[in-house]
Structure 1
Amino acid sequence: MNALTPSRLRELKRDATVRPFDLAQQLSIPEAALVEADLSLGAVRLDSTIGRLIPAVQRLGEVMALTRNRSCVIEKLGTYNEFHDGDHAAMTVDAEIDLRMFPRQWVHAYAVEAKDDSGTRRSIQVFDAAGDAIHKVHLRTESDLAMWDALLTDLALPDQKTMSDFAERPAPEGARMADDKVGILRAEWSRMTDTHQFNTLVRRLKMNRLGAYRAVGEPFVKPLVTDAVPAMLEAVRDRDQQVMLFVGNAGCIEIHSGPIRELKPMGPWLNVMDDRFNLHLRADHVAEVWLVDKPTKRGAAISVEAFDAEGALIFQCFGMRPEKGGDAEGWARLVEDLPTPVAP
């Protein structure tokens, strides 16, 4: 096989019948390397600073926001409104495009133009140090092309030729537990008043999310079977529940708030195909599912959370808060009906 030079990668992309994520997996290269093969040929290396990039994206108007991990992809149509910058975390707060972004992970960014039979496709693509996708923005017919041109002028970096030296991808962490701290975990869990206190708690106890769930036990968490995932999506649709569905990676979390209307399973994929919200979930990647109950000042925050075989979080789903139009009692009944493992 020829060496994977930029010209060879362009050939492979041209002939590929799979998406770039899957092609990169097949070639055992970072997905960002596929983008860089087109530097000066449709790809432009950009300043990845969130405080510069997101305001420029907002000026594009309506776009599609895409965030993924290995097992799940979320896509939302809308505009990047209400941007709040920060050194450690940034966000956009909107009914449609609702993001939590972590600047340390936003290392490589590109503007990409690609022509096909339907015309020119334009996107902003952001990757971490290892070249794994963090977040993508796809322009729509309604997007402002004058602002796209301005973005390219304002954010293009001087070096548009040198290939990046991508870092090694970190090994999956898996579940991290501290058996001697379980009593403290249970006591402090019961005293939580906000869900954001959870991350601080488990870090202080030298655990992580999955390790804490495995350790703490009922009444705080309850294991569900993997079939609980399609059952939950179907029940949300059938009972007209309003939910908050979180999908993300180390650099970006994208949130859908609202109902689920159209479910279309296809092979291993569970797909939501709503007008302005799509979800693509590899059901066969789901290895553990937990029903989680965290106390808050506004009442219980109850979630269904799925993890893959390596312990990575795939998604979290909460009932929408009542003040946002949710039905807390209906959500509690829905999750109680989800299937649990049969006792041995």
Structure 2
Amino acid sequence: MALSPFDIRQHEDDAPKLRARDIAETLGISEAELVAARCGDSVTRLNPHPDAIIGAAQTLGPVMALTRNASCVIEKVGVYENYRSGDHVSMVVAEDIDLRLFTSHWCHAFAVEKDTERGKQRSLQVFDAAGDAVHKIFLRAESDVNAFHAARDALRHADQSPDCETAPRQPVEAAKGNPDKLDILRAEWLRMTDTHQFMRLTSKLRMNRLGAYRSVGAPFVRALATEAVNTMMEQVRDAGLEVMVFVGNRGCIQIHSGLLGNLNPMGPWQNVMDPSFNLHLRTDHIAEVWAVEKPTQRGPAVSVEAFDKDGMLILQVFAVGKEGRDCRAAWGDLVAGLGGLVEQQVPA
């Protein structure tokens, strides 16, 4: 029997210290359904288009931007600015808030006001068709509360019912290679001049990212031990290297460019706990790690990329290549020194 909005609210009230995602999983519903259950009370359903949500975010002043997948959460404090709208992909390109937004997955959005032990917590939250979180924007003490209320009222959706229709979650695409096209993959890989060309190449050859990595072999990729991600983070911290960390889901990719300062492992989690940047990574979810090198006009782009057991990309780490902040040589040496897998251990 389906839970009523009243039942959902009651379950949430009975577990005030649990995260919304965990409560929803316990109840067997999506997080969007959990949030929507309070529509008409402390939650307002909004127009979910990125133009609307990010337009509002740009009025709020300093906030915390959060993006997650099932295995990793990235949080950045900063100001939303330099928004670039697109038909299919939009961007926020600022010093601290750096996002790639995929419009078709911005299906549900809410303004949320929640009482906590620290006072009123206000946020804008976006979910995909399955009700999974795409992106969240949390106000801070220095944020503009009046602008939040104005955005809430301006973007208010006509439907304020406490229900939320969701679709079945799309499964992660398993690794997909194409042995017949392997020679073409290698030849075209060498011709790349920009990392963004990679996905077009694999799509043309009817492969995906992980399938291409498993197929292409040296000198393009090298399989690493799963613990290499933690080792890499520790070495980046110790060397004071600036890196770019990409964490995303189907609807949003969020990027941190800078240091990994304070590492704080707790159980299966490896956490970066810096003043304006937090990362929370479930290292026990990592099933495959690849060191990848792609040619670009500015030299090789070297990355460390982690996948879960289903083939989902958890995170990618590159060197910072911005003008005046180029650490590619030191990063390349660091990655070359990470422990690899013996050939027979690489998944078929």
Q: Which TM-score tier does this pair reach, normalised by the shorter chain?
A: over 0.9
1:26 Cα deviation from its structure 2 partner: 2.3
For 1:252 and 1:181, locate their aligned partners in 2 and report how far apart those are by CA, in whole Å: 30
What is the one-letter code of the residue matched to 2:68? Answer: R
SS at match of 2:182: helix
Number of residue pairs matched by the alignment: 343
Counterpart of 1:99 in structure 2 is: 99
CA deviation string 1:126-159 (max 9, x = no partner): 0001100000000001110111111011100111
For 1:163 and 1:322, locate their aligned partners in 2 and report how far apart those are by CA, in whole Å: 45
Counterpart of 1:271 in structure 2 is: 271
1:163 Cα deviation from its structure 2 partner: 1.6
For 1:180 and 1:3, locate their aligned partners in 2 and report how far apart those are by CA, in whole Å: 49
SS at match of 1:306: strand
For 2:34 and 2:46, locate their aligned partners in 1 and report how far apart those are by CA, in whole Å: 16
1:12 Cα deviation from its structure 2 partner: 1.3
Counterpart of 1:7 in structure 2 is: 6
Counterpart of 2:165 in structure 1 is: 165
What is the one-letter code of the residue matched to 1:26? Answer: T
For 2:127 and 2:77, locate their aligned partners in 1 and report how far apart those are by CA, in whole Å: 21
Q: How do 1:328-343 residues align onto structure 2 when only pairs under 5 Å count?
A: 328-342=328-342
Task: Could you tell me which runs of 5 or more consecutive residues in structure 2 were left unpaired when the two chains were aligned.
Answer: none
SS at match of 2:326: coil
For 1:324 and 1:282, locate their aligned partners in 2 and report how far apart those are by CA, in whole Å: 33
1:59 Cα deviation from its structure 2 partner: 0.3
For 1:327 and 1:256, locate their aligned partners in 2 and report how far apart those are by CA, in whole Å: 15
Equivalent pair of 2:202/2:212 in contact (CA under 8 Å)? yes
Q: How do 1:175-324 residues align onto structure 2 when only pairs under 5 Å count?
A: 175-321=175-321, 323-324=323-324
For 1:325 and 1:104, locate their aligned partners in 2 and report how far apart those are by CA, in whole Å: 34
Counterpart of 1:38 in structure 2 is: 38
Equivalent pair of 1:306/1:313 in contact (CA under 8 Å)? yes
For 1:265 and 1:174, locate their aligned partners in 2 and report how far apart those are by CA, in whole Å: 30
1:165 Cα deviation from its structure 2 partner: 1.6
1:246 Cα deviation from its structure 2 partner: 0.2
Counterpart of 2:148 in structure 1 is: 148
For 1:25 and 1:162, locate their aligned partners in 2 and report how far apart those are by CA, in whole Å: 18
What is the one-letter code of the residue matched to 1:309? Answer: K
Instruction: Find runs of 4+ consecutive structure 1 residues off by over 6 angstroms.
Output: none
Equivalent pair of 2:191/2:295 in contact (CA under 8 Å)? yes
SS at match of 2:55: helix
1:25 Cα deviation from its structure 2 partner: 2.0
What is the one-letter code of the residue matched to 2:302? Answer: I
For 2:255 and 2:65, locate their aligned partners in 1 and report how far apart those are by CA, in whole Å: 11
Supply the RMSD in Å over aligned alpha carbons: 1.2
Equivalent pair of 1:245/1:256 in contact (CA under 8 Å)? yes
Q: How do 1:82-161 residues align onto structure 2 when only pairs under 5 Å count?
A: 82-161=82-161
Task: Could you tell me which runs of 5 or more consecutive residues in structure 1 were left unpaired when the two chains were aligned.
Answer: none
For 1:125 and 1:300, locate their aligned partners in 2 and report how far apart those are by CA, in whole Å: 37
1:15 Cα deviation from its structure 2 partner: 2.0
For 1:324 and 1:245, locate their aligned partners in 2 and report how far apart those are by CA, in whole Å: 18
1:162 Cα deviation from its structure 2 partner: 5.5
Counterpart of 2:59 in structure 1 is: 59
1:326 Cα deviation from its structure 2 partner: 2.5
Equivalent pair of 1:247/1:253 in contact (CA under 8 Å)? yes
TM-score, normalised to structure 2, is 0.96
For 2:307 and 2:235, locate their aligned partners in 1 and report how far apart those are by CA, in whole Å: 20
1:45 Cα deviation from its structure 2 partner: 0.3
TM-score, normalised to structure 1, is 0.97
